[in-house]
Amino acid sequence: MQHSEDLAQIYRSCVELSTDRATTHGSKTLDGARHRYESLTSPLMKICQNPSAPIAFCFKVSLIRKGTVPGQACTAFLKSITEVFFILLAMLTDASLSAMHLIRLYDRSTVPVTKLHQEVGRFLDRVAWLFFGEGVLSGSTHTAFIIKWLGQGPHHILAGGEHRSLGPPSREHICQCLGHLRAWVVLAKEVVEAELPGFLYVVEV
């Protein structure tokens, strides 16, 4: 899409036709700064804020570009979509946004060390609340929006001549996704302790 104006125009039209997006003016691109992995948060967020648009886009491209690499990629994407897929995508977005705040703070050159360590503590508290405390399931999170969107289904998907539909997720679906992000929280805490030994002591002092 970034290298084809024709495909970009198709995506823009899908955004304009979408009626169930989270924001009034849906983003009409999925651009991300590829030189920084964390910047892929932006396209993740855009997909979660308007899930109908990428589904409609992939369906159109799978027909218009059938037999080509873009068409095959879109068909494969549509076949991979499930309730768990979208919930996990949304949880990854919420986790990534929390990490982005911390990363951008560390990019500055004038922030006191104690301030940095305090923000690390807040980051760990927030992600623990999101995924162990299940705060990610409520409020204005991307996960809460996606769960609500799925609950408004069925959302029909046609891929390669096969019809499927997405509907309200089960508690099992949600717990499966929470399990993945809880493992990520544990890993994040271990990385912080390895890279910043004694940071809790600095915060307390």
Same domain, residue pair 205 and 169:
yes
Check the CA dihedral 33-142-46-53 and report its sign.
positive
**Domains in the chain, number:** 2
Same domain, residue pair 45 and 93:
no
Same domain, residue pair 142 and 198:
yes
Contact between 99 and 123 (Cβ < 8 Å): yes
| Euclidean distance between CA atoms 178 and 48, whole angstroms | 17
For residue 158, list its beta bridge partners: 163
At residue 59, the pLDDT reads 94
DSSP-derived letter for residue 21 is -
Same domain, residue pair 11 and 98:
no
Q: Which of 49, 64, 80 is the last residue of a domain?
A: 80
Q: Which of 80, 114, 141 is the last residue of a domain?
A: 80
Phi, psi of 29 (to 5 degrees): -140, 165
Range of the domain at 16: 1-80
Phi, psi of 178 (to 5 degrees): -60, -35
Q: Which of 38, 65, 80 is the last residue of a domain?
A: 80
Same domain, residue pair 64 and 85:
no
Same domain, residue pair 21 and 61:
yes
Same domain, residue pair 87 and 178:
yes
Q: What is the dihedral of CA 29, 34, 35, 39, to 10 degrees?
A: 70
At residue 19, the pLDDT reads 82
Same domain, residue pair 120 and 146:
yes
Instruction: Give me the average pLDDT of each 10-residue run along the chain (205 residues).
Output: 80 86 63 61 87 93 92 93 96 92 79 78 94 96 96 90 92 97 95 74 51
At residue 79, the pLDDT reads 93
At residue 198, the pLDDT reads 66
Give the count of alpha carbons within 13 A of 139, CB side only.
7
At residue 32, the pLDDT reads 60
